[in-house]
């Protein structure tokens, strides 16, 4: 059975790749939709290679012309812990629906049975497209829109990032290859919302984050 999954190069989708490959033939799809930097694209490729799964990088930077967010423009990235207000500017409108529907089209083209993404419980307060209601609705849209039994998998939808890392440590996910920071400098900044959340999740596992940070962590 084949599954197409969205691979961003971060902790969550890297863990998803290792989790899915226990049971599925995994096709990773990484989409460049005009994120600020290429470090996470490179991380995605490195993770896919390490996992030994098929992968494609799709250049959709042209979408950046249409969709407005601080991730795709030159607006500054908000610092500090995630909050609905501080991270609002990082919401690319309708992003996951766009990417998952493209993944679904790709899945049908290669005869895959499912699409998957790594939405998780920490994201759901901020990002509506990381909530179960969205997953359920999108599953309906895929079912009716394609007249197939294509499944939408979101196995981490009610799981915290700390629990994802707990699973990933068991699965020996090479977290040193992943990239989460919203800034694209040589080392992770350690201050943006995603760095803060990542560090906290490793700490909750009493584990060390193997990547390098600009600040003492």
Q: Which is nearer to a copy of itself, 136 or 158 (CB)?
A: 136
Q: How far apart are CA 5 and CA 195, in angstroms?
A: 23
Q: Which is nearer to a copy of itself, 102 or 169 (CB)?
A: 102
Least Cα distance to 28 among 120, 151, 118 occurs for 118
**Site residues, a copy of itself (CB under 8 A):** 56, 58-60, 62-63, 65-68, 92-98, 101-102, 104-106, 108-109, 128-129, 131, 133-134, 136-138, 140-147
Q: How far is the CB of 59 from a copy of itself (least distance, A)?
A: 6
Q: How far is the CB of 72 from a copy of itself (least distance, A)?
A: 10
Q: How far is the CB of 207 from a copy of itself (least distance, A)?
A: 33
Q: How far apart are CA 9 and CA 39, in angstroms?
A: 9
Q: How far is the CB of 43 from a copy of itself (least distance, A)?
A: 21
Cα 20 versus chain centre, distance: 14
3-state secondary structure at position 213: strand
3-state secondary structure at position 18: helix
Q: Which is nearer to a copy of itself, 140 or 210 (CB)?
A: 140
Count of CA atoms in the C-beta half-sphere (13 A) of 194: 19
């Amino acid at each position: 059975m084949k599954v197409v999954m969205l691979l961003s190069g971060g902790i969550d989708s890297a863990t998803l790749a290792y989790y899915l490959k226990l049971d599925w033939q995994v096709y990773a799809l990484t989409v460049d939709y005009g994120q600020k930097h290429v470090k996470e694209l490179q991380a995605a490729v490195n993770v896919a290679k390490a996992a030994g799964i098929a992968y494609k990088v799709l250049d959709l930077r042209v979408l950046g012309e249409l969709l407005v967010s601080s991730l795709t423009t030159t607006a500054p990235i908000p610092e500090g812990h995630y909050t609905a207000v501080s991270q609002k500017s990082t919401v690319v409108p309708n992003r996951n629906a766009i990417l998952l529907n493209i993944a679904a089209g790709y899945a049908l083209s290669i005869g895959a049975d499912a699409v998957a993404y790594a939405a998780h419980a920490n994201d759901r307060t901020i990002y509506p497209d990381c909530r179960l209601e969205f997953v359920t609705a999108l599953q309906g849209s895929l079912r009716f829109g394609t007249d197939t039994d294509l499944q939408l998998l979101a196995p981490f939808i009610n799981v915290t990032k700390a629990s994802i890392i707990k699973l990933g440590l068991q699965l020996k996910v090479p977290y040193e290859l992943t990239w989460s920071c919203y800034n694209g400098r040589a080392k992770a900044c350690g201050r943006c919302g995603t760095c803060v959340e990542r560090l906290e999740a490793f700490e909750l596992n009493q584990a060390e984050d193997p990547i390098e940070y600009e600040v003492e962590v």
